[in-house]
Amino acid sequence: MLASRAAPERPDRPFTGFKLAHAVVASEDGQAGFAGLTMGAQRVYGTTAEAACIWTRRHAPPRRRCSCGFYCLNSLAEARALSCATENRDAVLLEVTASGRFIRYERGLRYSRQRVRAVRVGPCGCGRPARGLVGWRGLMPVCAGCGASRALITFGGFATRLGGQIPVTPDEGAAGWPGQAGEGLPDAGLPDAAAIAALGAEMALVHARLDHLQARFNQLEGGES
């Protein structure tokens, strides 16, 4: 005898979850959005979105025998732990409201409708607190020092590109911040003009030395011939 199917859940409110995504900016109009980490990277979504299956249009996500749909984790700590993986260091952390059709799994939900409530940006690749986002189309967190010579999109600027309704803030609980994994790393701040001048002088000396060595090498090579 077949076991009876469990009664479908009918939650009285949307679920809150956490996930990672890549921050992106459209090259055409400068509007911001997000892209998934793996197969979902093929589709860019905004602050509110409906899931679409990338394999077929014959069913609505999520479907049990397919991997389609949005995914989120129940725990903020688990989402932060996922961001520590090398391949996820450039991702931002989203707090989302999940609704519509859904399928539970051990660590979270797979669902059909999503609204982004907040964006948390982790540290720069050097371990210091990020001050904004840099990149072309695909963005990554960057501190003031590492992003000094690049076109920086501030947190406020990215929030404006998202429509101005969602907070974009540094994730001070992320690994790599001073007092945690990045303890002892000072904020680089903006580069010092004197330091840049001194570095330029040292580079000029190195180039001069290389030119001298090249000339000596050419003389020796000519003498042998």
Do 124 and 163 belong to one domain?
yes
Do 122 and 212 belong to one domain?
no
Query: Higher model confidence: residue 121 or residue 217?
Result: 121
Q: Is residue 149 part of a domain?
A: yes
What is the phi/psi pair of residue 41, to 5°?
-65, -15
Q: Is residue 199 part of a domain?
A: yes
* DSSP one-letter string for 155-180: HHHHHHHTTS-S-EEE-TTSTTSTTT
Q: What's the DSSP call for residue 39? A: G
Q: What's the DSSP call for residue 42? A: G
Q: Which two tokens stand for residue 170?
A: 């540094």
Do 162 and 215 belong to one domain?
no
pLDDT of residue 148: 85
**Residue (of 131, 138, 133) closest to 177 by Cα position:** 131
Domain count, the chain: 2
Q: Strands 140-142 and 48-50, how do they pair?
A: unpaired
- pLDDT, tens digit, for every residue of 23-53? 999 877 789 999 988 876 778 999 999 998 8
Do 20 and 114 belong to one domain?
yes
- pLDDT, tens digit, for every residue of 63-122? 888 888 999 999 999 999 999 888 899 999 999 999 998 999 888 999 999 999 999 999
Do 218 and 131 belong to one domain?
no
- pLDDT, tens digit, for every residue of 136-157? 788 999 998 898 888 899 999 9
Residues making up the chain, counted from first to last: 225
Rg (C-alpha) for the chain, rounded Å, is 25
Do 215 and 105 belong to one domain?
no
- pLDDT, tens digit, for every residue of 170-209? 998 775 544 444 444 444 444 455 555 555 666 666 666 6
For 116-140, what is the mean pLDDT?
A: 92
* DSSP one-letter string for 46-77: -SEEE---SS-SSSPSP-TTS--SEEEES-HH
pLDDT of residue 215: 74
Per-residue buried b or exposed e for 29-62, using 16+ beta carbons within 10 Å of the residue's own CB: eeebbbbbbeebeeebbebebebebeeeeeeebb
Q: Is residue 163 part of a domain?
A: yes
Do 69 and 153 belong to one domain?
yes
Do 26 and 109 belong to one domain?
yes
Do 141 and 217 belong to one domain?
no
